Amino acid sequence: QSVLTQPSSLSGTPGQRVSMSCSGSSSNIGKNSVHWYQHFPGTAPKLLISTNNQRPSGVPDRFSGFKSGTSASLVISGLQSEDESQYYCAAWDDNLNGWVFGGGTKLTVL
Amino acid sequence: EVHLVESGGGLLQPGGSLRLSCAASGFPFNAYTMNWVRQAPGKGLEWVAVIDSSGTSVSYAGSVKGRFSVFRDNAENSLYLQLDMVSPEDTGVYFCAREWHVGFDYWGPGTMVTVAS
């Protein structure tokens, strides 16, 4: 059971706008920044959204992040086939004194 | 260009020990906090350990505390993870990741650890 809660799966069609959630608590998301990672099997995970809503260089602007209270969300506008991947949220947890990840959301592009 | 490359993975029996290495290049290694993250087969990412830039402050996930040790050699630009008293639940791909204020901005490709009798 992950400390951060994400839906296990999500699907959308090309061009659609999809949103995936990440729910935490006052000791993690409520106090610290949320980061989002994209992970294709067999490769290194990639930082997709940092510090709640910042896109690292090279990340398409169709990806955006939001945070409110103890929850966060990743939004993909204009879904593309290459976006089919696993997505993870993460945050530092002050009580656990460590990083916590969500269980991951598998995004399928239909 | 930033490069992180893990090594040292392999097959070991329950109760055994293994040391993983992460060779870093392309950035001032001694300025960065480093982490280990793992992924069990068919499971999600799980944070394992963090070590600050000087190597004086460390923290571990509850699932590995007391069994794993993280340390670094800044002169050799290397990060290590000592795995002791391993169990089948420790099976997975182990990634090293560079931490900056923005999160884990660079990751290695990972090294596979299999614990089985």
Test mutation, B45, B52, B68, chain A, max A CBs within 10 A: B45
Residue ranges of chain B with per-residue pLDDT less than 70: none
pLDDT in tens, A42-64: 999 999 999 889 999 999 999 99
pLDDT of residue B101: 79
Q: What is the mean pLDDT of chain A?
A: 96
pLDDT of residue A75: 97
What is the side-by-side strand order in the sheet with A63-68?
A18-23, A71-76, A63-68
pLDDT in tens, B37-66: 999 999 999 999 999 999 999 999 999 999
Which residues of chain B lie closer than 8 angstroms to A47, CB-CB?
102-105
Q: Is the pLDDT of residue A99 over 90?
A: yes
Nearest to B75 by CA among B35, B28, B18: B28
Can you tell me the distance from the alpha carbon of B21 to that of A93, in angstroms, rounded to the nearest whole number?
26
Q: Tell me which residue in B35, B62, B105 faces A99 most closely, judged by beta carbons.
A: B35
How far does the CA of residue A16 sit from the closest CA of chain B (Å)? 26
Contacts of B115 (CB under 8 A, 6+ apart): B11, B12, B13, B14, B16, B86, B87, B88, B89, B90, B91
Cβ proximity of B13 and B116 under 8 Å: yes
The answer to whether the CB atoms of B103 and A90 lie below 8 A apart is: yes
pLDDT of residue A55: 94
What does the block give as tokens for A103? 């269980």
Within a 10 A sphere around the Cβ of A97, how many other Cβ atoms? Answer: 12
Test mutation, A20, A39, A99, A101, chain B, max B CBs within 10 A: A99
The answer to whether the CB atoms of A104 and B101 lie below 8 A apart is: no
What mean pLDDT do residues A65-93 have?
97
Q: Tell me which residue in B47, B101, B108 faces A101 most closely, judged by beta carbons.
A: B47
Contacts of A62 (CB under 8 A, 6+ apart): A76, A77, A78, A79, A80
Which residues of chain A lie closer than 8 angstroms to B47, CB-CB?
90, 98-101
**Residue B90 phi/psi, 5° resolution?**
-90, -5
Three-state DSSP class for residue B52: coil
Can you tell me the distance from the alpha carbon of B48 to that of A71, in angstroms, rounded to the nearest whole number?
23
Q: What is the mean pLDDT of chain B?
A: 97
Expressed in percent and rounded to 5, the helix, strand and coil fractions of chain A are 5, 50, 45
